[in-house]
Amino acid sequence: MQCETCGKHFIEGKRVKIEGCIATVCNDCARYGQVVGDVRPHVEPPRKPVVAPVSQAAPALSKVLAAELSVPTLKEDYGKLIKDAREKRSLKMEDFAKMLSEPESLMHRIESGKFEPADSLAHKIESALHIKLFEKSSSMILAGGGHGASKDLTLGDVVVVKKKEK
């Protein structure tokens, strides 16, 4: 605790009445007022840590990772894929945007890679240009050679690191 008079840290102190106010002070500053009571450190009983058995935690984690791996993600070079496919079909950006009922400025930002389209828009683009913009997450490697989570699963086993190209 900290003395309200001098600012010194203390373990045991006093509650004193100084000029009509009750203050918590160290034993040295208690002489400046009338002692009302003692202040003792509040000690909580130690808590027992709750530890999940490894046999229960690993299967739950492997289910989460399996679900994460099964969710398709947008390819890194989606903008270039869209632009190349559009130009291959000799579509101007204005015409392509009208075909999708989207603003031309949005399509420009998507093609330049500055804006990641929502899944619904990405699927519309896929069907209009007959291309694949989604891929399964293959960059995530599981412990044990990708056959599921092991007992010694670490954070490094599940982290996906994506480097941004400049």
Going from N- to C-terminal start, the domains of the chain cover 1-41, 74-135
Burial label for 98, CB within 10 Å (0-12, 13-18, 19+), is middle
Partners of 38 in the β-ladder: 14
Q: Are 138 and 78 in contact (CB under 8 A)?
A: no
CATH 1.10.260.40 fits 74-135, yes or no: yes
61 against 93, higher pLDDT: 93
Of 95, 100, 105, give the one whose Cα is nearest residue 128: 100
**Mean pLDDT in residue range 75-90:** 93
At residue 81, does pLDDT exceed 70?
yes
- The Cα–Cα gap between 154 and 115 comes to 33
The answer to whether the beta carbons of residues 24 and 39 sit under 8 Å apart is: yes
pLDDT, tens only, 4-41:
889 888 888 899 998 888 899 998 998 989 999 888 77
pLDDT in tens, 101-150: 999 999 999 999 999 999 899 999 999 999 999 887 654 444 444 444 44
Taking the whole predicted model, whether its pTM rises above 0.85 is answered as: no
Does the pLDDT value for residue 95 go beyond 50? yes
Closest to 96 (Cα-Cα) out of 2, 88, 28: 88
